[in-house]
Amino acid sequence: MNSPVVPPPTGDASGRRVIDHVNASLKRRHAAERRFRALGMAAVTLGLLFVAVLFIDIVAKGYTAFEQTYIQLPIAFDAEVIDPDGSRNAETLADADYMALIDNALMAEFPEVTERSDQFALSAIVSVGAPYQLQRMVLADPGLIGKTESVWLLADDLVDMFAKGRVDRRLPEDHRQLDDRTLGWLDALAAKGQLEKRFNTGFFTNGDSREPELAGIAGALAGSFYTLVLTLVFSFPIGVGAALYLQEFAPKNRWTDLIEVNINNLAAVPSIVFGLLGLAVFIGVFGVPRSTPLIGALVMTLMTLPTIIIASRAALTSVPPSIREAALGVGASPLQAQFHHVLPLAMPGMLTGAILGMARALGETAPLLMIGMIAFIVDVPHGFTDPSTVLPVQIYLWADSPERAFVERTSAAIMVLLAFLMLMNLTAVLLRRRFERRW
């Protein structure tokens, strides 16, 4: 087959050079690349779009919850009503009928309202929490008795909704929760500048309540805080210790392989299962008080341990073996090599894992339902064994409530929760950046 004429090395039978084949296929290859890029862009855009829609929806529904409507009334602190005996006894002052003061002020404001049923409707425009506002004022300063003071009183949630434009006047009267006479009074108050929206501090300082205008996230925040602190205290040392032992000290045999597989599987177990386990073991067997941050933290610890162990092992693996050898080479014991050199270098990675685990625990709801943290708790917890709820459970509870005013509070609580989650994730990212090492 040796032909006397040697063909050009890049040609074929038809005389086309290799470069022609390459050029012919080039267009097709570029088109495929463009298609792939377009698909990727579309996927990312779609994802961002959904996130944007979610955020816009939540913020649009929730931002109004950071404001609360107040009604200004000149309250006459009548000594006859508050303290007929003149004893100024704290108990007497606390038990006084402050609602009567508000009623008197409202009657004075609207003297034309004389019908009994109208008077009832009128006094309903202030919150049932308003008398306690006056009670606190008097207890703080008994000198108020006998004077007349202009006081901004908490409005009822329906009035609040009206002030925020969430009551549609065009609806027929029997389809609205506020009837025409109430709207008339509110319009009159608004015209006189006695109806005003102010920053809703109560949302951040109150516990839960059946009355939307009195409900706040302080109890849930405190519950989440206590639960997370305990979760971190329990899970971080155990997780890091387990990772360190498994990664650096444990013999590599069938048992440790089995343990490793199980830890990886535990990370994928539905969280409600951990709740059932907590109910059966921690509450059922050990009698840990239910509904408390303590039991919540124990369950969360079970849930976050796999995450922390896996992250910690990854962090340990990323420490170069030369560091271990260097330490062992100068005569450090294995424990010294680990604690003096490997652990400090792996710590940022471990902390990142722990923070991400904590973020997951902060957003977790399902297992807590099993251990009684869904209870309706008004008081802000002050310790690890006080009954409490947590932020995501609070959101769940409010989302279930029929009152229109709870909708905006649900969204506002979601905003607070998301803010904390973002803060934690940001911390994890910054920590990773800050301590990232080049070897």
Partner 1 sequence: MNTTAETPTANTGAMSAADLSSHTDLGGTVGTVTVDNPRMRCSKVDVFYGDKQAIKSVSLDIGNNEVISMIGPSGCGKSTFLRCLNRMNDTIPSARVSGSILLDGHEILDKSIDVVPLRAQVGMVFQKPNPFPKSIYENVAYGPRIHGITNSKAELDELIESSLIKAGLWKEVKDRLGEPGTGLSGGQQQRLCIARTIAVSPEVILMDEPCSALDPIATAVIEELIDELRENYAIAIVTHSMQQAARVSQRTAYFHLGDLVEVGETDQIFTNPRHKLTEDYITGRFG
Shortest distance (Å) from residue 255 CB to partner 1:
14
**Residue with smaller CB distance to partner 1, 269 or 326:** 326
CA atoms of 43 and 45, how far apart (whole Å): 5
User: Given the DSSP bridges, would you call strands 148-154 and 67-76 parallel, antiparallel or unpaired?
Assistant: antiparallel
Q: How far is the CB of 310 from partner 1 (least distance, A)?
A: 22
**Minimum gap (Å) between residue 317 Cβ and partner 1:** 15
For residue 127 the two structure tokens come to 């919150």
Find the DSSP H helices in 87-217.
90-95, 98-109, 116-123, 130-140, 157-163, 180-191, 202-205
Shortest distance, CB of residue 295 to partner 1, whole angstroms?
41
Write down the least CB distance from residue 331 to partner 1, Å.
4
* 123 contact partners, CB below 8 Å, separation of at least 6: 99, 102, 103, 106
Nearer to partner 1, 132 or 339 (CB): 339
Backbone CA torsion sign across 298, 300, 303, 307: negative
Could you tell me the strand order of the sheet in which 195-199 lies? 148-154, 67-76, 195-199
Instruction: Report the nearest approach of partner 1 to the CB of residue 322 (Å).
Output: 4
Give the footprint of partner 1 on this chain (CB under 8 A).
Answer: 251-252, 320, 322-333, 336, 340-341, 345, 437
Q: Which residues of 117-135 are buried (b: 16+ CB within 10 A; e: fewer)?
A: eeeeebbebbbebbbebbb
Q: Select 211 or 248, whichever has its Cβ closest to partner 1.
A: 248
CB of 261 to partner 1, least distance (A): 19
Q: Which residue from 55, 182, 59 is spatially nearest to 124, judged by alpha carbons?
A: 182
Joined together, the tokens standing for residue 353 give 């894992």
CB of 143 or CB of 329, closer to partner 1 = 329
For residue 196, the cross-strand partners are: 70
Closest approach of partner 1 to the CB of residue 321, in Å: 8
In this complex, which beta carbon is closest to partner 1, that of residue 116 or of residue 254? Answer: 254
**Min dist. Cβ of residue 354 to partner 1 (A):** 22
Which residue, 79 or 332, has its beta carbon nearer to partner 1? 332
The two tokens of residue 391 are 């932020």
Complex with partner 1: residue 175 or 437, whichever CB lies closer: 437
Identity at 363, one-letter amino acid code: G
Find out whether 260 and 351 touch, Cβ atoms under 8 Å. no
Residue 61 or 324 having the CB closest to partner 1: 324
- Complex with partner 1: residue 61 or 341, whichever CB lies closer: 341
Report the greatest alpha carbon distance in the chain: 133
d(CA 266, CA 298): 15
Contact 197, 163 (CB under 8 A): yes
